[in-house]
Amino acid sequence: MIRHLNIKIRGFVQGVFFRLTAKQQADRLSITGFAMNMPDGSVYIEAEGEEVNLDKFLKICHVGSTMTRVENVEVFAGPLKNFKEFETY
């Protein structure tokens, strides 16, 4: 079953390849959506995919890249938007 998640990651997550890592893993897991830096220093992600792959993607969001320090991850379900690919902004 395809699900949609809204994910907000806080910590040292900007300027440390977090979004690039998210995109690489999303592509690997057939996750669509986007990742973008927010003005408050967090990263916001909307992700859609099979539940098992979203679970794997969420585990990656708790770690990020090798330079990342994730302090908090908030996850909320949302309505499907039928993204075609995973993009970074």
Active site residues: 19, 37
Which residue shows structure tokens 């859609």? 48
69-78: strand order across its sheet: 69-78, 2-12, 43-50, 32-37, 86-88
Q: How far apart are CA 11 and CA 73, in angstroms?
A: 9
Strands 32-37 and 86-88: parallel
